Amino acid sequence: MRTLGRRAVFPAWILFVALLGATFTASLPSSEAWAQTPPRIPGLPGFGKPAKAPPPPVFGDSRDQVETAVVVPNAKVAPGADVPIAVTFKLADGFHIWPKADAPTEGRAEFDGAIRTDLTINPGADGKPQPIAGIEFNAAFAQWPAQHTVESDLGDGLKKYGVYEGTFAIFIPASIAKDAKPGVITVPIELFFQACDNRGCSNPAHATVTATIEVVAGAGESAAPSAASKDLLKDFDPSVYARIRAGEKPSEALEFNLFSLSFTIDPNGAGFILLLLIAAAGGALLNFTPCVLPVIPLKIIGLSQAAQGSRTKCFALGFVMSLGVVAFWMALGVAIASIKGFTSTNQLFQKPEFTIAVGIVIGVMAIGMAGFFSMKLPDWVYMVEAKHDSYLGSFLFGIMTAVLSTPCTAPLMGTAVAWATTQGPGTILTVFAFVGTGMALPYLVLSANPKWIDAMPRTGPASDLIKQTMGLLLLAAAAYFIGAGTSGMLVMAPEPPSHVYWWIVGAIGVGAGGWLALRTIKITRKPLNRVVFGGLGVVILAVSALIALSQTAKGPIAWTYYTPERLADAQKAGKVVVVDFTAEWCANCKTLEALVLNTPGVSKEFNADDVTAIKVDLTGNNVAGNALLKDAGRLTIPLLLVYGRDGTLVMNADAYTPAQVLEAIATARAKDGAKDGAKDGARAK
């Protein structure tokens, strides 16, 4: 009888990879050790260095040092005409305000605790800009003033910072609609800023200025700009209107976070090529998520068997499987581009029927691939059985692999996909095609290099044991999807879903580990193989039992389940608010919660009196939760938001470490003054 020898080295490596992520993360330093040398994540305040609050307020309200107003050079404008709106600032001598959030640094230092200057046109109840009938705005093309350089010591030595100071204006290009009716249009603009000098800063403040524009019947009745307005307009570049009409898109800064790595790109122009490469990298990383990893050994066995007969057929089967992966992602892109209201796979899994159907398909295919059931199945089952030596089977296997990846979001991919869904059909399909290509590429490379998989056992007990073990793990995945879908049917938001099905998932996993351990002892007498593979079986058994216990336990965090009212109450109370998006079908969410959020240091902070930990569970059709996810600028989960005491967003990340979460909470606690400074609401000077 064949033993587990040299040819089993490669499958052993594959099985070890399945546990590598959990083992590595579990071995990370403690929260305290991370906090001593936390990684740097540019764009998230305070990360990478001890959290700093802005200099202490010593001048009261920032509006005491800043006068704001609004000027419309043409108070009377005809339909179809362009009209720039100038928001003016006049600062007291020696004072400055911080630049807008995405302003270029031009070699200057950045201060993590800076309150950035911002403006919102006609903000609604949610703080987001709302349209105004008869006028169109191009706030993305707003012209901000040049920065001045100041030197200051903000706690880490004398450095140069970019600021706005003196008297200046922010110009907002606007155009009156061609069908606008005569009358007065009122445009409220909310400003947010903080005034500082070299001694300290005033409390941040909101101010509202209102532009009034009169639409007249014809172009001949438009009023000429006043002399003062003409003088103000000398700093305005009117060519912006020609660029807008020519189809130019404003510069966009998309921020990508991968734990300690963070960078931004502009997806327009040449940056689009970089975004496509990032999307492909995210697709490739999907293969190493808990959703996909168990099926990789099964396909490698199939490629190995095909390579034994013909290298050409091996490549052809791998190519066809890759086409299946890409075809699924393209079909998903077509659905997003053509179906109104459909923006992400999250929406699919929030339909319990879809989640259950995925589980059933996975279960059927697992039975067919593992080959250890002799029962007679209906003929239609064998039509979808993914036989590795058939082109149809390889294509369907590729589709199944892609379907398995949809509950998980790979790092980098989420931001690229979320941006793509806001663009036209061509851009959506291109980005999704690159995600699929990135995911399919490893299989294509393996099929083109069959020598790399020569160590894979093609027949005999060792090969059968691998297929049986992975088949059982796939059955556990099937039980997971069916259980998640059933919970989605029964849950009533915002209450948490049932977790009982995790016992079934854990039991099948225990069976897979036990089967691997027992069969290893029977089919090999080599001590090393027995220790390695038998031990791996015991590890799978133990991890499966641990997963069942942990997922059905209450957990160390006292979560508040999300409703808009509960979030509003926590923010009104001036608390730090942490919002975790999760779902029963989201394997990445479960992993991050277990290995990051439930660690002693993080859970202790989440349970602190001045922190409210809110969980948004999207297992069922949680309408309010989906609206909050959209407001956060995201389409996929996992996602963690951290809000400061003043309600400002401190952290928005889908991949994070314990140290980064602790750092975000520390920064959120420091953002206390803005709430007091804004109590008076909209008062303009």
pLDDT bin (cut points 50, 70, 90) of residue 251 is low
Nearest Cα to Cα of residue 35 among 671, 669, 668, 664: 664
- Region 229-242: mean pLDDT is 82
Q: Which residue has the higher pLDDT, 115 or 365?
A: 115
Task: List Cβ neighbours of 237 (8 Å cut-off, separation of 6 or more).
Answer: 143
pLDDT confidence bin for 665, thresholds 50/70/90: very high
Q: Which residue has the higher pLDDT, 2 or 381?
A: 381
What's the Cα-to-Cα distance from 492 to each of 488, 630, 632, rounded to whole Å?
8, 21, 23
Distance between CA 53 and CA 76 in Å, rounded? 46
Q: Which range, 120-134, 166-180, 274-288, is most confident?
A: 166-180
| 644 burial type by CB count under 10 A (0-12 exposed, 13-18 middle, 19+ buried) | buried
Alpha-carbon distance of 413 to 138, in angstroms, equals 29
pLDDT band at 312 (very low <50, low <70, confident <90, very high): confident
The highest-confidence range among 220-229, 458-467, 619-628, by mean pLDDT, is: 619-628
pLDDT beyond 80 at 268: no
Compute the distance between CA of residue 677 and CA of residue 647 in angstroms, rounded to an integer.
12
C-alpha 413/C-alpha 417 separation (Å) is: 6
Assigned CATH class of 58-254: mainly beta
In angstroms, the CA 625 to CA 589 distance is 15
| Residues 595, 650 contacting (CB under 8 angstroms) | no
Taking the CA of residue 311 as centre, how many other CA atoms within 13 Å lie in the half-sphere pointing to its CB? 8
Q: Could you tell me the pLDDT band of residue 337, with boundaries at 50, 70 and 90?
A: confident
Q: What is the largest CA-CA distance in the chain?
A: 99
pLDDT in tens, 199-210: 778 888 889 999
Percent of the chain at pLDDT exceeding 70: 74
Q: Find out whether 95 and 201 touch, Cβ atoms under 8 Å.
A: no
pLDDT of residue 637: 83
- Does residue 211 register a pLDDT over 60? yes
Phi-psi region of 498 (alpha: psi -120 to 50; beta: other; left: phi over 0): beta
What are the phi and psi torsion angles at 112 (to 5°)? -60, -30
Distance between CA 644 and CA 611 in Å, rounded?
Answer: 10
138: Cβ contacts below 8 Å, ≥ 6 apart: 172, 173, 174, 175, 240, 244, 250
pLDDT digits (tens, 9 = 90+) for 24-41: 333 333 333 333 333 322
Which pLDDT does position 104 carry in this prediction? 73
- What's the pLDDT score for residue 676? 41
The structure tokens listed for 280 are 């492909």
Q: Give residue 667's pLDDT band: very low, low, confident or very high (50, 70, 90).
A: confident
pLDDT at 66: 93
The band of 411, judged by pLDDT with boundaries at 50, 70 and 90, is low
Which ranges in 135-250 belong to alpha helices (H)? 227-233, 239-245
Question: How far is it, in rounded angstroms, from Cα 296 to Cα 319?
Answer: 15
Give 537-541 contacts, CB < 8 A, sequence gap 24+: 537/469, 537/513, 538/513, 539/19, 539/513, 540/19, 540/469, 540/473, 540/509, 540/512, 540/513, 540/516, 541/509, 541/510, 541/512, 541/513, 541/514, 541/517
Q: What is the mean pLDDT of residues 439-458?
A: 71
Q: Which of 633, 643, 642 is nearest to 252 (CA)?
A: 633
DSSP assignment string, 365-406: HHHHHH----SPPPHHHHHS---TTSHHHHHHHHHHHHHHHT
Domain segments of the chain: what residues?
58-254, 268-492+502-541
76 has pLDDT over 90: no
**257-266 as b/e, with b when 16 or more CB fall inside 10 Å?**
bbebebeebb
pLDDT at position 190: 92
| Predicted structure pTM score | 0.55
- For residue 527, count other CB atoms closer than 10 A to its CB: 8
**Residue keyed to tokens 């931001």:** 415
Share of the chain above pLDDT 90, in %: 18
Please, what is the average pLDDT of the chain?
76
The pLDDT value recorded for residue 303 is 65
The pLDDT of 485-507, averaged and rounded, is 86
Q: What is the pLDDT of residues 532-591, one digit of tens each?
A: 888 888 998 998 998 888 888 888 999 999 998 999 899 888 899 999 999 888 878 888
Cβ of 157: how many Cβ atoms within 10 Å? 8
- Asked if residue 42 has pLDDT above 60, the reply is no
Tokens of 570: 């926590």
- CA 66 distance to own-chain centroid: 37
- Mean pLDDT value across residues 364-391: 57
Q: Reading across the β-sheet that carries 82-91, which strands appear in turn?
A: 66-71, 82-91, 167-176, 135-137
